[in-house]
Amino acid sequence: MLKYTIRRMIYVIPTLWAVVTFVFFLIRIVPGGPAVAALGSYATEESIRELEKQMGLDKPILVQYGIFLKDLCQGDLGRSLITNKPISQEIARALPYTLDLALGGMVIGVLLGIPTGIITALRRNRAPDYIGRILSLVGISMPEFYLGILLMYLFAIKLPLFPVLGGGDLSHCGSRLYHLFLPALTLGIIMTAFISRMVRSSMLNVLGEDYVRTARAKGLHERKVIYKHALRNALIPTVTVIGIYMSILMGGSVLTEIIFSRPGLGKMMVFAVKDRDYIALQSVIIIFSAFVFLFNLITDLLYGLIDPRIEYH
């Protein structure tokens, strides 16, 4: 397993290189540049050229690419073209907000999604199943920005329980959680919908298997049959989905961060696109990609823990 993990980690390097190279050239093809964005409506041709020179954008693109790769290998992500702050500092500041949100959303999704999936599977074609399925369909169909505003209206305006503004003080756990609840609930509800459907479907498959029938025939308590024999097997595909959704959640945090004014990575990425801040954008994408690889790896490793039949070579 250790060998497998190391090998997977090594594979990450060329994949990441391919991603960053693709992103590096792609974002430079898009019209509009950071100098125009930074200078706004006062931009003169001369001032645009001057600022591009200061930003190092007057160099040939291959030279810029070489500098970028060299700096990246030395662990230097560069400085934002707009704020001139080291990107690593900006990412270090934004990353906890996004991780909080993705993890919070996933925790809510798992806590609500798995029981809902089990209940709807066990009560198949009965009222709880219909209600669960309709709600999960609503959850999947509802855009997160709309759900976010709806929750904000309910739990911040009508019932003034939670704040609508900011991500809280990073050094203050209470403040951080207080500001996290509504955004995490927004993503959590959507995750609940996905996970509950997945669990329901897997459970229905497993409940029809011979070993479940055998367990029941042996006279095992129904709870033991469900939780030990059925759920454990049903969780294998669910874990895959959770792993994939975790990656999606990282990216899906973008709109939620904008709606709730959380200064996270998703928000940083959107504004980097808007401002054509190439350095910030490529750095954020590197971080996002790294997390996608990490979550995929964790998912693969979890298979082995859940399903002893799986071996790593």
Q: Decide: is 99 part of the binding site for other proteins (CB under 8 A).
A: no
By CB under 8 A, name the one of 33, 78, 139, 188 that touches other proteins: 33
Q: How far apart are CA 297 and CA 289, in angstroms?
A: 12
| Nearest partner of 279 among 27, 114, 125, 81, judged by Cα | 81
| Nearest partner of 34 among 20, 21, 47, 23, judged by Cα | 47
Q: Decide: is 45 part of the binding site for other proteins (CB under 8 A).
A: yes
- According to DSSP, the residues that pair with 86 across neighbouring strands are 79
The one segment of 11-19, 86-94, 99-107, 299-307 that binds other proteins by CB under 8 A:
86-94
By CB under 8 A, name the one of 268, 279, 284, 287 that touches other proteins: 268
Q: How far apart are CA 295 and CA 76, in angstroms?
A: 24
By CB under 8 A, name the one of 12, 131, 248, 258 that touches other proteins: 258
How big is the site for other proteins, counted in residues (CB under 8 A)?
Answer: 62
Q: Which is nearer to other proteins, 105 or 163 (CB)?
A: 163
Tell me the per-residue interface mask from 164 to 183 with other proteins, x by CB under 8 A, - otherwise.
xxxxxx--xxxx-xxx-x--
Q: How far apart are CA 45 and CA 43, in angstroms?
A: 7
Largest CA distance in the chain: 85
Q: Which is nearer to other proteins, 241 or 259 (CB)?
A: 259
Q: Which is nearer to other proteins, 241 or 268 (CB)?
A: 268
Q: Which is nearer to other proteins, 241 or 281 (CB)?
A: 281
By CB under 8 A, name the one of 19, 72, 198, 259 that touches other proteins: 259
Q: How far apart are CA 46 and CA 28, in angstroms?
A: 21
Instruction: Please state the length of the chain.
Output: 313
Q: How far apart are CA 99 and CA 102, in angstroms?
A: 5
The one segment of 59-67, 145-153, 226-234, 304-312 that binds other proteins by CB under 8 A:
145-153
Q: Decide: is 199 part of the binding site for other proteins (CB under 8 A).
A: no
Q: Decide: is 285 part of the binding site for other proteins (CB under 8 A).
A: no
Q: Decide: is 156 part of the binding site for other proteins (CB under 8 A).
A: yes
Tokens representing 233 are 């097997």
Alpha helices in the chain (DSSP H): 2-29, 34-39, 45-55, 61-73, 87-122, 127-141, 144-152, 173-207, 210-217, 222-224, 231-259, 265-274, 278-306
Q: How far apart are CA 35 and CA 275, in angstroms?
A: 9
Q: Decide: is 229 part of the binding site for other proteins (CB under 8 A).
A: no
Q: Decide: is 39 part of the binding site for other proteins (CB under 8 A).
A: yes
Q: Which is nearer to other proteins, 30 or 310 (CB)?
A: 30
Q: How far apart are CA 123 and CA 113, in angstroms?
A: 15
By CB under 8 A, name the one of 14, 42, 309, 313 that touches other proteins: 42
Q: Which is nearer to other proteins, 241 or 267 (CB)?
A: 267
Q: Name the site residues for other proteins (rule: CB under 8 A).
A: 30-33, 36-47, 50, 82-85, 90, 93-94, 149, 152-153, 155-157, 160-169, 172-175, 177-179, 181, 258-264, 267-268, 270-271, 274-276
